[in-house]
Structure formats: structure tokens, C-alpha cells
Amino acid sequence: MIIDAIDNEQVDTLLNDVLEAHGYDFLEYSHASIKRRITRLYTLDSFVSFAEFRYAVKTDKKYFKRFLEEITVNVTEMFRDPTFYKSLRNDVLPALGTYPFIRIWVAGCSTGEEAYSLAILLKELNLLNKSLIYATDINPSVLETAKQGMFPLNYLKGYSENYVHSGGLKDFSSYYAANYSLAKFDEALSSKMIFSTHNLVSDHSFNEFQLILCRNVLIYFDKDLQHKVFQLFDNSLENLGYLALGSKESLDFWPNAKNYKRVKSEKIWRKL
């Protein structure tokens, strides 16, 4: 990666183009991260000048699709942070079990690994039948992958270990069928998922949920944008609903955090 290939002003120019030409607003993303993503893509695709890169991003629809895929971070795992999933299993989901119908929003679901992890927990608690998981992302391509429920087989060993550490007692391989290099997850899991694009920066609340999961998305946003998104979540969460964040994210500095109570030591808060 040529680290000084693109300077700060060029980043701003490009992001303004993206907003004007395509309607995606990245201006309130953390600057250092997005600059690194842009520089990485510029280097990866061997552009010879910023002008050429800018032109492609602005005018070439096909290239913009790639830009969107590469600029957003889509790294995810099943049962990432096993103690977090243990807390979902033992503390959060049983409390939701008393509702006649459970609505969950996985915001920024990427390729769906967390939505499938959640579905497995719900199934094991006999709650999947009355649950619906809304899995959304800014990026339409990752949602296509998520719908398929197929993940690279070589990751499954790690996911299986995570599952066991999170308190899973079943044989993890009973949830998928190995198909060449991919593991295809049981369609009973995805039958309870609704996939849709949703942009946390510009789109509004679209339902009321009892649990919102948004992990390792807010780290890419600046503080002001984080607070706007917390407000969006607040508007989308029923009283006594839960908000779950990534292991390095926190509600603490948001002015309305006083209306939320932390669940044990995990990054899970309950709306009071």
C-alpha cells in the first residue's frame, strides 16, 4: 500500500463526489479508517492518478459497486466473542422468551455470520419459531451472500470452537452441510431472517425491536454520527429491549445513556 498516494483533501473530494453522485454519505466516518480503506483500494486497483480514480468512482456504476464493497469493512465471524454470546444465551434471550413474538434487528450484518449465530441460539432455546431477524447492511452485495447462508468451510473449525466456548452443547456440524469449500447452513435458520439494505447514516427507523445487535460498525463512525445512530436505535427499541454492541464500543458518552442499564460485564444495555 502506498500510504501517501492520497491526501486528506482528496479523501474529502472523493467522499463529496460519492454523496452527490450516489447518495451515500461517508463524511462522518472516522477519517483515519476510511482514508486507509480508500488508499488500499487505490493501490489494489493500480490507479495511476487520483483524477482517474475519482472519475471511475463518480461515473462508473460498476466500479462504484466495488468501491462500496471495499470501502466498508465486511470482516465478521460466527459466535465472535464467545462470552458475549453466552450472555445472549443465558441473560437476554430467555427474557425475550416471554414475548409472544420476538423481533430482532442485526444492523450492519455484513455477510450474515452474526445473524446465523443468533438464529442457532434461538433455535436451541426453542424460540426460533416465534422470532424474526431483520438483517440489514448498507451494502447489497454482502446481503446476497448472507441470504445464501454459505460460509467458507475452512473458517468452520474456528466458529465451532467459538460456539462451544459460548456454551453451545450440540454438534456444531449438525447445522450445516459441507459442500466443496463451503458450509451451507440449515435453511430453517434463514427462513426466519429478512434481509434488506439499510443505511444507518441516512435511513430511518423501520420497526420496533426487542433486541438490536450492531457490533463493530460504530467504530467506523465519528462521535457525532455514533450519537445519531444511538438515537435511531433508541427510536427502534421497545422499552425493556436490549442493545448489543461490539467489544470496544460503548453507550457511555451518549447523553441518553442514563435511560439504559448495562447487562453484566458484556457490551449489552437494556432500555429502561
Q: Which residue reads 438464529 in cell numbers?
A: 119
* 54 binds other proteins, rule: CB under 8 A: no
Cell numbers of 156, please?
468452520
Minimum distance of other proteins from residue 83's CB (angstroms): 9
* 250 binds other proteins, rule: CB under 8 A: yes
Q: Which residues pair with 268 in a beta bridge?
A: 244
Minimum distance of other proteins from residue 43's CB (angstroms): 12
* 249 binds other proteins, rule: CB under 8 A: yes
| 244 neighbors 214 (Cβ within 8 angstroms) | yes
What character string, x for contact with other proteins (CB under 8 A) and - otherwise, covers 187-226?
Answer: -----------------------------x--xx-xx--x
Of the residues 157, 170, 248, 264, which one makes contact with other proteins according to CB under 8 A: 248
Measure the CA–CA gap between 72 and 27, rounded to whole angstroms: 13
Near other proteins in 71-90, by CB under 8 A = 73, 75
Between residues 43 and 205, which has the closer beta carbon with respect to other proteins?
Answer: 43
Minimum distance of other proteins from residue 115's CB (angstroms): 17
* 30 binds other proteins, rule: CB under 8 A: yes
Residues at the contact surface with other proteins, assessed by CB under 8 A: 1, 3-4, 8, 30-33, 36-37, 73, 75, 216, 219-220, 222-223, 226, 246-250
